[in-house]
Structure 1
């Protein structure tokens, strides 16, 4: 309990430190040669089966099975369709399933029965069915056996299967709803299945199944064992929600079930927890995504590789753990069991069982020890042993990984599938090369050496970033390929891209056991494809490239630029572990200077001058084990156009005189800026001036003089392009700013009368102008009466004064407020006084509506 809580909480603490190694090389899809297979309107290429003796790759997709040439999968040899009848589609749709997608036939089981037949099963519109495919005619036998327990109903449900000596072992769901998980053996003599009980299987997600053959030289005369890998909801740990646990389960091939107890049920079924954690980083990975068992005749024991991820995984964290098969066997053969205990009469808790263990040992295979005790078959086992197995299928001990820690922990990636190949390097050392796919259609090739992990390369298998659903590795010597299946198609890839490394240093620094440098041919070769017996090749998995003595042919690129311009020197660096270093005249260039800017694949040099001419070298520096290895990636020779100083003199000195007889203007100088490649032109009477000064006119020049100046080539007078752009930008900026300020003040009426007339003209179509009494301001004011004044003699209320567009005080004599009597008297005098001023009405502010 404490361990699980610690791992779940500590997951977020350790995420900041678990970045993992970076792939040294990233190959985009267009950079490498991959073979694709895809048929129009066909999807879900998720079931692959390789027949290496026939060089055929069988692909099970949606409603079709293909037979492809395994050496070139684009060569389709045969195909057979396996469609669902319309009646079954209709019945499936009536149960709430999609008629266009779910109610089709998805091939989920594709196993080699013998040299003549394949055993195949499909979902068949939620009515799973199995049949035999004749490899000679490539036609179905028409058996149409019930696929219940052999194939899932739902194409989205998890499943796994393995064929062992003509008998099919599957992990799938046994009903339409997917609520009854089962590990089943399809056998005519003794079909067996798991108990439908939570302690046996609790909402499992089946991942992988395979058989481990018993050693024929083993003195125990042990049985072959079939291992199942899945993730299920925990029963032994208490948590707030459903806590998932990765499991490994085991059954024995010679298991025949019990006589009375566990009839037609597994008597050898046991399961244990697979532990994959990084305690130093507070990480626990409790979801197993895929498993691969590395087996070969040269191996002392098989090794299980698993891809894991945490349950609360919002940053794409993944890990790879490896387990010795002997560790697994010790847990099942010697480990403690768990049992359920009732707490407070309502709650069930799983604890370690410390009581007496029956004999023969529950869950053990029929070996020499059991036969010595008189038990020749599981049908002879005592009920006490069988009942113990039924009640105690879960082991208390966990299966721990090699080294008690993951082989690889990687952040920002979700691994989906894994296959492993065992390779012997040139020095005789054996390495396990892991090929791990991602949910973004990429493939990581990683190698473990000296307690470290190195990702050799990252390959983009699918251009549309389709998640990889299936990985398959061929083991045929000289014809090894990797096959990846997704929803969109199948991809065939070589195991190495040695020819992509052009130098010895690059080939050795790749640390790829498939590749070696041929010094005689100066090429990086795949040492498993060559058949030479005497090899003078260079390979070092540790990355020591000091043995490389070949001289790389350096190709210099010539560049010519103008003064003041910007140079772009390209340099492509492929290694993600190396640093790019630029050298200028054999000195390291300080790219931190504002004169330079280092891009991903280029170097920019601004404002070129004479001092920037020379040789530039782009070097790749990669550090391995405190050793630094450098190689030249590009060499650039930069030259600037030279400045030629020339003079242009008229045939005769020219004197310009003004019409009024004043002194003539005797000299005019044109000087070119020093950053131009255009010749300098100087026109002068007494002397020639070549100093870089601004063009000077000694006085105001007549039109004749200006015409003479225009005859001089226009390119003789110019500023730098950068300066021209800057001046033009400043001019436009201030001009636009001036227009904005002018328009704003004009609109607000802050400018003189001329602006108001212009504004009134613009707004004339919208508002009627009012009269402007500016020319007869005083006389008109005298006849106007402000609101609130006394009534006129006729008793009528006087009209308010017109708004002239100016902000003024109240119009009273001398600007002061008069009393009522004074105001009445002045108004009478003004009214009797005739107009002696000629006034014209002018349009003023038009904001107010006129009459």
Structure 2
């Protein structure tokens, strides 16, 4: 069964194999946070900076961490305005530890819920050592203060500090999706604070879900059908609609009506409008469904123009592709309001979910109270008939899946998994409006990306966190033009644009950054929103085509470099971007890899250089946009044979070597004088004696006998001296006797 299921999901990708997938995996620039003008905030001993609330009305970022809440300046988060601690009492930590949780990590208070209330206060909840607790908080006169009106947070805040959840405050009501028990095994989507209502605890409603995000869409505004606002919940869960032996997860979106009060008899205090549908995000070279990790609601105008941006990652290690898919609110509404339902039947005593082909009650199950329902006498969910309520209770799953806009992902990238996303809107020089995506990754970076008529351009990848800490949360402030990100170790802030980061006209224009353009008058890359209307004609920006023909020619730098025969010469060349190609020429001829020339990481190496390798070496960095080549960098090296007398780069080295030789000579002279003085002193003290003078016969006899006079004349060597003398005499006598005998024979 699992094999058939894989074929089913793989088939959806196969149908689009002939299409050109937007596999734009290389960012044009890779930069650090500091070079991009960002800031880092972290407090000693504080961890888990993963909950954020923008209070643009107060000019602060409310940052929730472990047992600590901060108020930071929106313009510069290193400026801490206020801080409040919310610690777990010792007995609670002990109780948590006794239940099997880690005392040091899990049994603390992790701030998980931060929302602005209608009266200006903030609603805050923490895990509180697996005993979720909520309170109200105020920021007044530069101080953060908890009201100490603690109340239970079960169903509002997760027990487990590392379990994913979703929440939203709408008109003073808290909508939340989390688990309501210690073990995390009872998932729920509920509304609390005033009118409490929740999901049924049944497998057909929620089955082992991972909640991702919750969004409020004001569909009740200017709605010709008299419909009401909706709350959309995004999550992944184990699929109930497929037969398989191993667990298979799918992505979902569910919705409920804001005015839902539950049923009168059936579904009392339960949602009467809870419906869910599968979200498809077909990624090439993957067989199993990708899983949603984060969602962002972008509404350029009224609610009917809203689009959901979702980031998806594979659920198996066999694929390394992450994707961004978009879904229009109209497409989702179409499936919920007109699509068919799934129903459960028993086949050979096994439950199986199939398409429901029976009659559908009126009013339509799962629909909100609209003009049509009011005309039939139904003014609130409590008025709905039991037949409608029983139908939606047993059949909350829709048969048709929601497909992404354009039937394919907006972006697919291989590498570090996507974790989060926010989307900003900006107006270009020609008045066109563009959506800029900022995508957080598991490697601690954020990708700045724009789609131009189906072509996805990754403008830059900014490394936010050291040690590759995953980005856990992203928040966007259009008011101050800043992006905020959180991880386990720190929170960071970076501008949406950093135009002065581009160093030349070609670099600025080829970046295709909608925030930036090259000013031909001031000769710098400037922000589009800062340009005076009278000088807009002198600014160059080409987003769709990347046309840099109006830019002046790139100036080449000239460097004189000396070399010496037998050495290896290294000539550096910096490419203008990650998309540029480096080209080397020597005396006007292209350089190719050989036994002499090696090009490694754009650097030209000349191995065992000789006099014949002197000449002009030129490096150019060329970037191709829409089939047109643009030079982004140019450098020329004049390679000369080295001369110690004329080479200014070598003269300091020669002088240093001469100084070293002089020092060595002085040291040798000093050591020689010290040695001579030591020898003279030993002779003066009598420790050394001049050897005695012997006649030639005695010297010959000594050489023959091998006996030598001791150098030392101390008493302990007298006996040895006498023995040596005696031995010498005996040898002399013996030699004389032998000579006498020889004379007699001859």
Common fold: TM-score over 0.5 = yes
Quote the residue 2:30 is aligned against.
26
Is residue 233 of structure 2 the alignment partner of residue 241 of structure 1? no
Cα contact 1:414–1:439 (8 A) shared by 2: yes
Cα contact 1:225–1:252 (8 A) shared by 2: yes
In 1, distance between residues paired with 2:27 and 2:287?
A: 22
Report 1:378-389 matches (<5 A).
Answer: 378-389=381-392
In 2, distance between residues paired with 1:395 and 1:443?
A: 35
Match of 1:437 among 437, 440, 443: 440
- SS at structure 1 position matched to 2:305: coil
Quote the residue 2:343 is aligned against.
339
Is residue 168 of structure 2 the alignment partner of residue 162 of structure 1? yes
Quote the residue 1:362 is aligned against.
365
How far apart are 1:607 and its partner, in Å? Answer: 3.6
Cα contact 1:568–1:604 (8 A) shared by 2: yes
Quote the residue 1:219 is aligned against.
224
Cα contact 1:56–1:67 (8 A) shared by 2: yes
Quote the residue 1:174 is aligned against.
180
Cα contact 2:24–2:457 (8 A) shared by 1: no
Cα contact 2:42–2:490 (8 A) shared by 1: yes
Cα contact 2:10–2:288 (8 A) shared by 1: no
Quote the residue 1:576 is aligned against.
578
RMSD between aligned alpha carbons?
Answer: 2.3
Quote the residue 2:517 is aligned against.
516
Mean Cα deviation higher: 460-469 or 109-118:
109-118
In 1, distance between residues paired with 2:477 and 2:632?
A: 36
Match of 1:371 among 356, 371, 374: 374
Aligned CA distance change for structure 1 residues 242 and 68 (closer, same or farther; 3 Å): same
Which of 1 and 2 has higher RCO (CA within 8 Å, sep 6+)? 2
Mean Cα deviation higher: 426-435 or 368-377:
426-435
Cα contact 2:582–2:602 (8 A) shared by 1: no
Is residue 623 of structure 2 the alignment partner of residue 622 of structure 1? yes
Larger radius of gyration: 1
In 2, distance between residues paired with 1:546 and 1:144?
A: 61
In 1, distance between residues paired with 2:259 and 2:624?
A: 55
- SS at structure 1 position matched to 2:471: coil
Quote the residue 2:146 is aligned against.
140
- SS at structure 2 position matched to 1:550: coil
- SS at structure 2 position matched to 1:72: coil
The one-character-per-residue Cα deviations of 1:548-576 (angstroms, maximum 9, x if unpaired) are: 33243433112122234332211112411
Mean Cα deviation higher: 288-297 or 347-356:
288-297
Match of 1:109 among 104, 109, 113: 113
How far apart are 1:11 and its partner, in Å? Answer: 11
The one-character-per-residue Cα deviations of 1:597-640 (angstroms, maximum 9, x if unpaired) are: 11225211234344433332211111122211123332222222
In 2, distance between residues paired with 1:529 and 1:113?
A: 35
What is the total number of aligned residue pairs between the two structures?
Answer: 637
How far apart are 1:9 and its partner, in Å? Answer: 6.4
Aligned CA distance change for structure 1 residues 643 and 244 (closer, same or farther; 3 Å): closer
In 2, distance between residues paired with 1:159 and 1:110?
A: 13
Using the size of structure 1 for normalisation, the TM-score is 0.72
Report 1:754-793 matches (<5 A).
Answer: none
Match of 1:296 among 300, 318, 326: 300
Aligned CA distance change for structure 1 residues 184 and 531 (closer, same or farther; 3 Å): farther
In 1, distance between residues paired with 2:448 and 2:133?
A: 38
How far apart are 1:643 and its partner, in Å? Answer: 11
Report 1:445-460 matches (<5 A).
Answer: 445-460=448-463
Match of 1:475 among 474, 478, 481: 478
Cα contact 1:21–1:453 (8 A) shared by 2: no
In 2, distance between residues paired with 1:173 and 1:377?
A: 28
Cα contact 2:542–2:548 (8 A) shared by 1: no
The one-character-per-residue Cα deviations of 1:241-291 (angstroms, maximum 9, x if unpaired) are: 11101000000111111111111110111000001114x645553311111
The unaligned stretches of length 5 or more in structure 2 are: 646-650, 652-746
The one-character-per-residue Cα deviations of 1:562-591 (angstroms, maximum 9, x if unpaired) are: 234332211112411111011233x24223
In 1, distance between residues paired with 2:302 and 2:599?
A: 51
- SS at structure 2 position matched to 1:333: helix
Match of 1:96 among 100, 123, 127: 100
- SS at structure 2 position matched to 1:403: helix
Aligned CA distance change for structure 1 residues 23 and 603 (closer, same or farther; 3 Å): same
In 2, distance between residues paired with 1:318 and 1:203?
A: 23
Cα contact 1:573–1:633 (8 A) shared by 2: no
Match of 1:72 among 69, 73, 76: 76
Is residue 159 of structure 2 the alignment partner of residue 153 of structure 1? yes
Aligned CA distance change for structure 1 residues 7 and 317 (closer, same or farther; 3 Å): farther
Quote the residue 2:675 is aligned against.
none
- SS at structure 1 position matched to 2:475: strand
The unaligned stretches of length 5 or more in structure 1 are: 645-676, 678-851
Match of 1:563 among 544, 562, 565: 565
- SS at structure 2 position matched to 1:427: coil
In 2, distance between residues paired with 1:212 and 1:194?
A: 20
- SS at structure 2 position matched to 1:91: helix
Quote the residue 1:287 is aligned against.
291
How far apart are 1:57 and its partner, in Å? Answer: 0.2
In 2, distance between residues paired with 1:226 and 1:573?
A: 49
